[in-house]
A and B are shown apart, each in its own frame.
Chain A
């Protein structure tokens, strides 16, 4: 499948990180900090916790640059997103479990449901943010601006067929948030803990 991010760019970044180039670390941060922090914030709903996850994720990548395998993991961006989601969900589970243990109410199922919901939401968020811009634009118009597909077509300057196609395709992509194996339901990276 064609990736719009040149895989070469990702490989190059990995090589530079592996070489211990601090400038590459800075560039990595500049490229992905918004993604990492945003995802963590979405899952955890807390700024400090999101800061912490951001630290952990970049720390993990910097310490384990070889953990990224471009052939297996896809783009660096999607790998970073999965890593973040996993780490954030892990932290959420810990937090919730602790809260559950302390107050006693609720049930482990509730914790699991909340964690699951957060993981799906994080994944959906990533899918929306990384889907092709034309699809996102169509969804944006139809859902948030409440345009029907004919108006959407007119707004985007495309045929009605194309507008229908984009809306359907966009939702199909989004629906994979439910069906794909969820990140965060596996253990977090071994050395991903805070310093």
Chain B
């Protein structure tokens, strides 16, 4: 016979003591996040403990520390019959079975177990098979028939199973008393009780993880790479994307499940006026995933839209959707986004987080391995294309802007990218402006070119002066993308803070309302600001 406390319910339970290190199935049935409402119904005042509030750091100690452990030497290791404990058992079951009288009667004979203490040999057999219903001469005959599954008196196994709840003061007064009585008689349980009670002292409220300083990442990585240079570095032009996706990832890991459904209004400038689209935090991540997928496909990675394609649509249930070969997945950001939103399970949940993060990690890894030439790989967005280095910079910009949307939606502080990265983003917008101007001119949305310019020669320019971290001076060629801007040909000047300029480019602030200083040719300024806003899209 083994120690009676070596029951089957040891720590090697279904969850194993060495439990899943990182495994938290977000959809699992016991996800605490889903079940726990922080503002929920568990009013601390409606506690069950009738003995008054417990101080969390001082669990109620039934006896002096070590007392039960020492006491066991003097008492028989084998528990006496637990009739008295049985009497303390939750009265619910007894009441249900109409045994209230029997319980009261039995309580009157609380001296009985003591009398039994000397009866070691007789009780040993009983204690070792706690699950067997022990015949009890004093028990009314009806008790046994109340449920054959009932394990008789509060058996050792049950008391042992209560130790955790007892240490946490999370069982009834009767159960506590029964456990405490048991501890004076069962050394293994007494030992465990002490250990568990000490463990309760180790519980402390997990502070909400203070937001890690987002700049810590680059400092840590820089320190590492200074100690041991990377053999396969992340290309410099991919660093803003690496940094911005990491920042957004940290934000996403910090928000609770309900916040994934917080409403977000995506804003952009459709060329003539501000436009917007309502979605959720999860929807924004879906949008980023769908558009990042353009770059992923260009690099030969899986297009996230392929796997998202809903089965009912693939079966041709609707006619509005083209067949598998008819332009699916679409190439333009807006269509891809709609396809992602339509194709996902509704509504989108935080389940979109992992695919987004895995794709961004895969992108960074792939460009690291791809070698120098890949920077110029052309990435098509449908009606325009960008070299990969710019495409990834554009994605970094979008990632920041949408992270900012999300941060606002969930009231989370979120700063701008590092100055160096911000500078690259502004530079990209400045480089795209002449072509955007020409495009608007062809569409009749901008004034006519005022000079014919020789390609490659300096032309009429707007001086864009961006202040703050990441700022600088740019000269935007006004009359042709083929010309280049030059200080001595500047006809107008715009002075603006870096972040404000980015908000303008993202379409978050209409050109008329952007906070900036203007000087010189008003039409040129008007056209450039509108062209800047029209760089935005869904």
A171 near B196 with CB under 8 A, answer yes
Interface pair B18/A74, CB less than 8 Å apart: yes
**CB-defined interface of B183-202 with A at 8 Å, one 1/0 digit per residue?**
00000000010011011101
What CA separation (Å) do A27 and B368 show in the bound complex? 13
A58 to B213, CA, bound (A): 16
Q: How far is the CA of A20 from the CA of B233 in the complex (A)?
A: 8
A151 to B35, CA, bound (A): 13
Interface residues on A, range: 35 or more
CB closest residue in chain B, given A76 = B21
Interface status of B217 (Cβ within 8 A of chain A) = yes
Decide if B312 is an interface residue (CB 8 Å cutoff): no
B444 an interface residue at 8 Å Cβ cutoff? Answer: no
B168 interface neighbour in A1, A134, A171, Cβ under 8 Å = A171
Binds B, one of A91-99, A100-108, A154-162, A182-190: A154-162
Q: How far is the CA of A141 from the CA of B209 in the complex (A)?
A: 20
Q: Using CB atoms, name the residue of chain B closest to A80.
A: B21
**Residues of B contacting A139 in the complex (Cβ-Cβ under 8 angstroms):** 168, 203
> Quick check: B195 and A175 within 8 Å, CB to CB?
yes
Q: What CA separation (Å) do A37 and B172 show in the bound complex? A: 40
Chain B residue with Cβ nearest A74? B18
B221–A29 touching, CB < 8 Å: yes
Contact A63 B230 (CB under 8 A): no
Query: By the criterion CB–CB under 8 Å, are A21 and B232 in contact?
Result: yes
Q: List A contacts of B373 (CB < 8 A).
A: none
B451 in contact (CB, < 8 A): no
Q: DSSP class of B's interface residues: helix, strand, loop or mixed?
A: loop
Partner of B210, one of A22, A23, A47: A47
Set of chain B residues within 8 Å of A121, measured between Cβ atoms = 202, 204
Partner of A130, one of B21, B48, B163: B21
**Closest residue of chain A to B194, judged by CB?**
A175
The segment from B9-17, B113-121, B280-288 that touches chain A is B9-17
The B-contacting residues of A in range 29-52, CB under 8 angstroms, are 29-31, 33-34, 37-38, 41, 47, 51
User: Are the C-beta atoms of A20 and B216 separated by less than 8 Å?
Assistant: no
Q: How far is the CA of A147 from the CA of B172 in the complex (A)?
A: 11
> Is A142 an interface position by the 8 A CB rule?
yes
| Nearest CB in chain B to that of A178: its residue | B198
Q: Check A22 against B161 for contact (C-beta < 8 Å).
A: no
Taking a contact as CB atoms closer than 8 A, the residue among B23, B32, B163, B230 that contacts A168 in the complex is B163
Residue in A41, A140, A164 whose CB lies within 8 Å of B32: A140
Is the beta-carbon distance between B42 and A147 smaller than 8 angstroms? yes
Q: Which residue of B lies closest to A149 (CB)?
A: B165
Which 3 pairs across A and B sit closest by C-beta, in order of nearness? A4-B20, A168-B164, A20-B231
16 residue pairs A–B, Cβ–Cβ below 8 Å: A1-B18, A23-B365, A24-B365, A59-B224, A77-B22, A130-B22, A135-B15, A139-B203, A143-B170, A166-B164, A168-B9, A168-B161, A171-B164, A172-B192, A175-B199, A178-B199
Interface residues of A (CB under 8 A from B): 1-5, 19-27, 29-31, 33-34, 37-38, 41, 47, 51, 54-55, 58-59, 62-63, 74-75, 77-78, 120-121, 124-125, 128-137, 139-149, 151-152, 155-158, 161, 163-178, 195
